[in-house]
Amino acid sequence: MAFARVVGFEGVTKERIEAMQREIGEGERPEGLPATDIMLLHEPDSETALAILFFETEDDYRTGDATLNAMPGPQTPGGRTSVTKYTVAVRRQA
């Protein structure tokens, strides 16, 4: 069974998203983050975002959760408003 970590953020500017696109595109995945997929959704008018990370196992989720919780504020999209763990009930890619 796969798991998803869904994190809400506020105060996420267009400029911050553009910087994150460059950082993620040019950088390496952080050590201790065994996510299979990472998705960042942005709503520019309200400056909110959702980060969705997928993990194949609960152990991978725990490792990734600990790594992300330890991440310094400047490395996140904005102010974190929520963190929720979900089981992935259906997942299909085109």
Per-residue pLDDT of 62-72, as tens digits, reads: 999 999 999 87
Beta bridge partners of 8: 50, 82
List domains and CATH numbers for the chain. Answer: 3-87 (3.30.70)
More confident residue, 72 or 78: 78
**What is the rounded average pLDDT of the residues 86-90?**
96
Nearest-angstrom CA–CA distance, 65 and 5: 8
Q: Which amino acid is at 31?
A: E
Q: Please tell me whether residue 56 adopts helix, strand or coil conformation.
A: coil
10-57 pLDDT per residue, tens: 999 999 999 988 887 787 777 889 999 999 999 999 999 999 999 999
12: burial class by Cβ within 10 Å (0-12, 13-18, 19+)?
buried
- pTM for this predicted structure: 0.89
